[in-house]
Amino acid sequence: MFTQRSNEVEFHKGQICFPGGTFQPGDTSLLQTALREAEEEIGLKAEDVEILGELDDTITITSGYVISPFVAFIPYPYPFKVSHREINQIFSAPLSALMDEANFRQAEDMQTLEGKSIPVYYCEYKGHIIWGATARILKHFTDLLLSESGALC
């Protein structure tokens, strides 16, 4: 499941991302941050989510944010309530589409992060272009699923 950020937010305007946001002083953990932000952005209640695990942290190149992604099951269908101040739209893509190499590709250019060259990934699904940190997280997740020893931490 993905969100497209509104043009009213401070960072990453109009970009495709996962629900989530910044750790606040009242948060007890990064998981609690993710669940609180998901409820604020799309109306997803923590009690309706089954957490499967956490992926490796990912850093955004343009803003330097560290993203700590969690993987979860969400009931389907779900009565989402979008906060239009933060989110333009939500959409989902089947795992089969995200794992299809025809939809997911690596750009020829590389980006530099902390002095290291990292690949730039893009995934296209029904007119949505997923790129940047979101695509790197997605690539890491699909690589784990494709590997024989892949498991969520």
**Is residue 151's pLDDT more than 80?**
no
Rounding to the nearest 10 degrees, give the CA dihedral for residues 48, 53, 59, 61. Answer: -60
Of 106, 127, 141, the closest CA to residue 4 belongs to 127
- The mean per-residue pLDDT over the stretch 66-70 comes to 97
pLDDT level of residue 38 (50, 70, 90 thresholds): very high
Distance of alpha carbon 142 from alpha carbon 82, whole angstroms:
27
Pick the CATH number of 2-146 from 3.30.450.90, 3.90.79.10, 1.10.287.130, 3.40.640.10: 3.90.79.10
The residue ranges of every structural domain in the chain are 2-146
Question: What is the structure's pLDDT at 94?
Answer: 93
Distance of alpha carbon 97 from alpha carbon 32, whole angstroms:
29
Share above pLDDT 90 across residues of the chain, in percent, rounded to a whole number = 67
Whole-number mean pLDDT of the chain? 90
Distance of alpha carbon 89 from alpha carbon 75, whole angstroms:
18
Residues 6+ apart with CB under 8 A from 66: 57, 58, 59
- The mean per-residue pLDDT over the stretch 35-51 comes to 98
Distance of alpha carbon 28 from alpha carbon 15, whole angstroms:
28
pLDDT level of residue 149 (50, 70, 90 thresholds): low
pTM for the model: 0.88
- The mean per-residue pLDDT over the stretch 143-150 comes to 76
pLDDT level of residue 13 (50, 70, 90 thresholds): confident
- Residue 46, classified by CB atoms within 10 Å of its CB into exposed (0-12), middle (13-18) or buried (19+), is middle
**Is residue 148's pLDDT more than 80?**
no
